[in-house]
């Protein structure tokens, strides 16, 4: 399938637009904040429970409310002020950091702390589920169409730099300032809100006369995805790869019980995928995956599965960090290809609702994948569960290769 994308030769083209720069700055603050929060909560919860299932519950508690609102959020992202929606959701995320800090300092009982943590995580899930469709839709409004590949590559690069920085710093923050790290989260999100407020207002895409009823709008977005083999194949690959192959939720166990490197080591393990993703994203800026795009996507997801199997078997901290970095590089190819597909193939007045369906696929794969990892580790053991997940990822890639020929033959050149 040939879908030509005319990209400017200037590798910094997207960064020359002020709105895009403010958008990227917001993502930097948000990514660092979320990584600090995730690492701190993961270590904190495992410190209280010593139970891998409790780590899986973190993902489940977040994804259930996220899943409940995302499709509705996609509908509203196409008819209301996306900028106001984003700022409102970021404000809730900011308050979640304050809530976590307050709980740890004012609730002495560990069981009560754990229950309240899950409540705050659920509220954050609601906010992030509402945020995602509007956030993505605004991205496509910050640059012209011929810069979509470049803007996706830069967005991914900056996000991974911020994730890498946040993950690397988070372990040390939690080790030295402990629960005060949750306040750092709130300050960073506040900076993101300030940055986002400088983006110029974006006009509504639909008049009241053209707005479909909410349920019809949601059905339209779902129908669009399931009728598009390329889109559905790319989303399914990411969904099942992360659902079965992700070991991120179990990293506190690997750091504490297998590799024995403590919270500082956990920070490096969390940062490693982002480091690999950053390197690949930087490569994609200069040499975007526009030739044999589908084949490169399938190869990358297959490589991700192989990395998960090797990581599970590794007993060496440095090898584990390296393999996680390679897995991040593979994942970045998937992110760039999927983002380019979304920006290019989806009509402007459907980006919110289709992005919502994308969020259900991708967001749910991360959090449900965390729950699956915790549950599988509880049943099989930590190492066998990760080997099983990596093997399932390889089988999904093989199945998709034969069942989605349009995706395999996708070519943006």
Q: What is the set of domains in the chain, with CATH numbers?
A: 14-201+213-408 (1.20.1250.20)
pLDDT of residue 7: 44
- Secondary structure of residue 359 in the 3-state scheme: helix
Query: Using CA atoms, how far apart are residues 147 and 55, in angstroms rounded to an integer?
Result: 39
pLDDT of residue 316: 92
H helices present in 262-349, as ranges: 262-286, 293-313, 317-345
Using the Cα atoms of residue 247, residue 253, residue 255 and residue 258 in order, give the sign of their dihedral.
Answer: negative
> How do residues 335-383 score in pLDDT, each as one tens digit?
778 777 777 777 766 766 777 777 766 655 666 666 667 777 778 888 8
Tokens of 78: 């196409």
Using the Cα atoms of residue 290, residue 296, residue 297 and residue 300 in order, give the sign of their dihedral.
Answer: negative
Taking alpha carbons only, the member of 31, 66, 63 closest to residue 246 is 63
Query: Which residues on adjacent β-strands are paired with residue 2?
Result: 411
pLDDT of residue 21: 93
Query: Using CA atoms, how far apart are residues 215 and 209, in angstroms rounded to an integer?
Result: 16
- The phi and psi torsions of 411 (rounded to 5 degrees) equal -145, 120
- For residues 131, 375, 396, 222, the Cα torsion angle rounded to the nearest 10 degrees is -30
Contact 250, 382 (CB under 8 A): yes
Residues of the chain predicted below pLDDT 50: 1-8, 206-209
Distances (CA, A) of 127 to 134, 345, 404: 12, 27, 34
């Amino acid at each position: 399938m040939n879908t030509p994308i005319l990209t400017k030769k200037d590798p910094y083209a997207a960064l020359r637009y002020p709105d895009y720069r403010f958008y990227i700055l917001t993502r930097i603050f948000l990514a660092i904040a979320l990584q600090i929060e995730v690492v701190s909560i993961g270590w904190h919860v495992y410190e209280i429970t010593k139970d891998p299932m409790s780590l899986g519950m973190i993902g489940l508690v977040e994804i259930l409310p996220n899943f409940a609102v995302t499709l509705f959020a996609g509908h509203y992202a196409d008819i209301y002020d996306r900028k106001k929606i984003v700022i409102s959701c970021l404000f809730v995320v900011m308050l979640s950091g304050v809530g976590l800090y307050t709980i740890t300092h004012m609730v002495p009982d560990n069981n009560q702390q754990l229950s309240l943590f899950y409540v705050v995580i659920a509220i954050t899930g609601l906010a992030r589920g509402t945020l995602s469709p509007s956030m993505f839709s605004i991205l496509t409004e910050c640059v012209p169409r011929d810069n979509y590949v470049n803007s996706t590559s830069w967005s991914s690069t900056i996000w991974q730099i911020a994730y890498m920085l946040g993950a690397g710093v988070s372990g040390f923050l939690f080790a030295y300032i402990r629960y005060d790290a949750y306040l750092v989260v709130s300050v960073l999100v506040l900076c993101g809100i300030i940055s986002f407020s400088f983006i110029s207002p974006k006009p509504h895409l639909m008049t009241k006369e053209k707005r479909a009823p909410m349920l019809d709008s949601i059905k339209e977005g779902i129908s669009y995805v399931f009728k598009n083999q390329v889109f559905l194949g790319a989303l399914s690959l990411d969904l099942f790869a992360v659902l079965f192959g992700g070991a991120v939720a179990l990293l506190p166990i690997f750091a504490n019980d297998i590799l024995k490197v403590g919270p500082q080591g956990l920070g490096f393990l969390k940062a490693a995928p982002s480091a690999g993703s950053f390197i690949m994203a930087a490569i994609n800026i200069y040499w975007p995956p526009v030739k044999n795009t589908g084949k490169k996507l399938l190869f990358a997801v297959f490589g991700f599965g192989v990395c998960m199997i090797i990581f599970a078997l590794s007993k060496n901290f440095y090898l584990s960090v390296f393999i996680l970095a390679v897995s991040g590089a593979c994942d970045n190819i998937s992110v760039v290809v999927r983002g380019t597909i979304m920006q290019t193939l989806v009509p402007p007045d459907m980006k919110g609702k289709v992005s919502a369906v994308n969020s259900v696929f991708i967001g749910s794969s991360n959090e449900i994948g965390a729950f699956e990892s915790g549950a599988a580790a509880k049943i099989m053991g930590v190492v066998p569960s990760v080997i099983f997940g990596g093997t399932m990822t390889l089988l999904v890639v093989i199945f998709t290769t034969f069942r989605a020929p349009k995706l395999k033959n996708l070519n943006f050149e």
